[in-house]
Structure 1
Amino acid sequence: MMKKIIYTSILILMMSSCSEGYIPIDEATTIPTGPITYQTHISPVISSRCISCHGGSDPQGGLLLQTFNQVRNSTENGTLIQRINDPADPMPTTGLMPASTRALFDEWVNNGYLEN
């Protein structure tokens, strides 16, 4: 019984830390060295995983992610990073992207690479 309580507590602690919008990078997660750029690293992910729902004339949730400025604004003033890292309510809705992909976004934002 005590083991079950400990395991449940650890699981709850791990899940609550995921909603912060930060992906801890372990040794198995690799991200490129040097600056993460929108054009090289972020735009291809947006195009392949986000634009089908967040593009066009009627984007889901009213969130357009078609341009650099729209993506940058959503990371700075919205919840884009939190949503792509949220296991309970992930974006895309099909499930969390790989940790290495999510780490690109974290690196882009947290290290001041919010450039085109």
Structure 2
Amino acid sequence: MACESRTYEEISDNTPITGIVKYETDIKPIIETNCIGCHSPGGPASAYPLTNYNLVKAEIDNIVDRIQRPVGAVGRMPPGTSLSQSQINFFIKWKADGSIEN
């Protein structure tokens, strides 16, 4: 039995993501690193919290739209920067896979 590593740091931007993408192992770490500083209580985007699975799942269409906008575009997330293409691909695949929690 082989072990497959597929963290977003280890996947090049052009490598297709294989396997099912899950919130706890794949999406949550990206959210915690790049989004939670603003999208949590007390943050500048606290009106749009992304602090748990249900909140992220409910906003997945909006998230995918905003993270794919060009840097500098109105509503681009994260503002002033960009997720890597591999991180964006995880969100797209998670949505396509049915937004699985665990």
Q: Same fold (TM over 0.5)?
A: yes
Match 1:46 to one of 31, 50, 53: 31
SS of residue matched to 1:91: coil
* Identity value in percent: 30
| Conserved 8 A contact 1:53-1:59 | yes
| Structure 1 letter corresponding to 2:65 | Q
Q: Residues 96 and 83 of structure 1: is their aligned pair in 2 closer, same or farther, counting only changes over 3 Å? A: same
Unpaired runs of 5+ in structure 2?
A: 1-11
Q: Which among 92, 96, 99 is matched to residue 110 of structure 1?
A: 96
- Residue 65 in structure 1 maps to residue 79 in structure 2: no
C-alpha RMSD of matched pairs (Å): 1.9
Residue of structure 2 equivalent to 1:94: 80
| CA distance, structure 2, for counterparts of residue 31 and residue 37 of structure 1 | 16
Corresponding pairs, count: 87
Q: Greater helix percent: which structure? A: 1
TM-score (norm 1): 0.67
Larger Rg: 1
Q: Structure 1: which 5+ runs fail to align? A: 1-26
TM-score, normalised by the number of residues in structure 2:
0.75
